[in-house]
Amino acid sequence: MIKRVKTIFAILLVALASSLLCSQSFAADKVYRLKLAHSWPTDFPIFGDAIKNMADMAEKMSNGRIKIRIDSKNKHKAPFGIFDFVKSGQYDMGHSGSYYWKGKVPNTLFFTSMPFGMTAEEQYAWFYYGGGFELMQKVYAPHNIVSFPGGNTGNQMGGWFRKEIKSIDDLKGLKMRIPGFAGEILAKVGAKPTNIPAGELFTALEKGTIDALEWVGPSLDLRMGFHKIAPYYYTGWHEPGSELQFMVNKKKWDSFPDDIREILRVAMRAAAYDMYAQSYHESAENWAKMKTEYPNIKVKTFPQAVLQAMKDANDELISEMAKKDPLAKEIIESQQAYLKKVRAWTKISDQSYYESMEKLK
């Protein structure tokens, strides 16, 4: 009887071990097929490159276990619908700009770029080492979304204008495409901000639907042809470090094994920073072209009085948001405290270097 029990027990152990090995083999071979929707037109440069780079890296690092289908706005027809797509699970992943969702969740606008705020380097430091990433999850988690930095454009230009801006009065009644918190600021000083998808910007400017627009910077602006209609090109104030975002459906994210999550996390982070490098390079290339090949473009900086009026409006609006929402207050205080600390280093490092080099012959 004892021998029989031992034999049965041994058989059960062999069967269990075999089952475990089979399940582990199946898990290692399982292919995760994901769908990603983004806000940009098909084959849109730089933004679209970041998405493709992320998907390619994820597939290679996973030895083919992660395969991501990418749908542009040309297919899904809803460039500003990415938040809802990912939240509902209609798409597993998304790529867009966090400040596009301010009408749904006001606190999302803090994670793209804030006027008069941090540069790309400063903001990346805040995201990854200063608590910014954790605050972003506090905002997105209630909506079944995990959000990740998705690529930075660097310091954006202040926009294309048909007419020169000489005083704050020139902004009153001005119809301008400008998203995010900058739109709130312009509304406060009397302008009429709106948001329009990338593929419709030139037509809107050409037809007079808008009088001015901001898009990105030389990296993407030159090929859009805005200078043919609005020759005044203003330097930036509103988006000193504009970060796009990757979004993942939280239920889907939680269902992945640890290695799949880590591969996706690394692929998104690498693709995001690569986009920043690419955007910086393309801006340098196109800036050189603008100076030599497009003499009609008039580069301007907003008058000090205009900038001060917009800064005053910014401070008032920020204060109002902090008073209304405890989470907004937490994010604002985090950003302001980090900016104060990091800017001191920026001034003594990068700014001092630039100023020193300018004095050399």
304 and 232 in a single domain? The answer is yes
pLDDT at 29: 85
Which domain covers residue 137, as residue numbers? 30-152+241-281
CA dist., res. 190 & res. 44, Å (int) = 33
Cα 264 to the center of its chain, rounded Å: 17
128 and 164 in a single domain? The answer is no
pLDDT at 25: 45
Last residue of a domain, one of 251, 281, 311: 281
Residue 307: inside a domain, yes or no?
A: yes
75 and 186 in a single domain? The answer is no
Do the bridges between strand 159-161 and strand 66-71 make them parallel or antiparallel, or are there none, so unpaired?
Answer: unpaired
143 and 58 in a single domain? The answer is yes
Residue 206, amino acid:
E
Report whether 327 contacts 138 (CB < 8 A). yes
Residue 179: inside a domain, yes or no?
A: yes
Residue 221: which CATH number?
A: 3.40.190.10
CA dist., res. 343 & res. 283, Å (int) = 24
Cβ within 8 Å of residue 57, ≥6 positions away: 266, 267, 270, 271
pLDDT at 244: 98
Residue 95: which CATH number?
A: 3.40.190.170
38 and 175 in a single domain? The answer is no
| Count of structural domains within the chain | 2
- pTM for the complete prediction? 0.90
pLDDT at 18: 53
Residue 272, amino acid:
A
187 and 50 in a single domain? The answer is no
CA dist., res. 23 & res. 30, Å (int) = 10
Residue 143: inside a domain, yes or no?
A: yes
Angle at 139 between CA 137 and CA 140, to 5 degrees: 65
pLDDT at 106: 97
Residue 341, amino acid:
K
Residue 354: inside a domain, yes or no?
A: no
Residue 17: inside a domain, yes or no?
A: no
Q: Helix 326-346 vs helix 304-324: angle between axes, to the nearest 10 degrees?
A: 140
Residue 138: inside a domain, yes or no?
A: yes
pLDDT at 41: 96
Per-position pLDDT tens, the chain of length 361? 455 544 555 454 445 445 544 444 445 689 999 999 999 999 999 999 999 999 999 999 999 999 999 999 999 999 999 999 999 999 999 999 999 999 999 999 999 999 999 999 999 999 999 999 999 999 999 999 999 999 999 999 999 999 999 999 999 999 999 999 999 999 999 999 999 999 899 999 999 999 999 999 999 999 999 999 999 999 999 999 999 999 999 999 999 999 999 999 999 999 999 999 999 999 999 999 999 999 999 999 999 999 999 999 999 999 999 999 999 999 999 999 999 999 999 999 999 999 999 999 8
CA dist., res. 292 & res. 256, Å (int) = 51
β-strand partners of 234: 159, 300
316 and 214 in a single domain? The answer is yes
pLDDT at 12: 42
Residue 104: inside a domain, yes or no?
A: yes
138 and 251 in a single domain? The answer is yes
Query: Token pair of 27, please?
Result: 């898990």
252 and 315 in a single domain? The answer is no
306 and 229 in a single domain? The answer is yes
112 and 200 in a single domain? The answer is no
96 and 57 in a single domain? The answer is yes
Question: Would you call 186 exposed, middle or buried from its count of C-beta atoms within 10 A (0-12, 13-18, 19+)?
Answer: buried
Residue 66: inside a domain, yes or no?
A: yes
pLDDT at 26: 46
36 phi, psi to nearest 5 deg: -120, 130
With CA atoms as reference, report the closest residue to 342 among 124, 83, 24, 53: 124
Angle at 288 between CA 285 and CA 291, to 5 degrees: 150
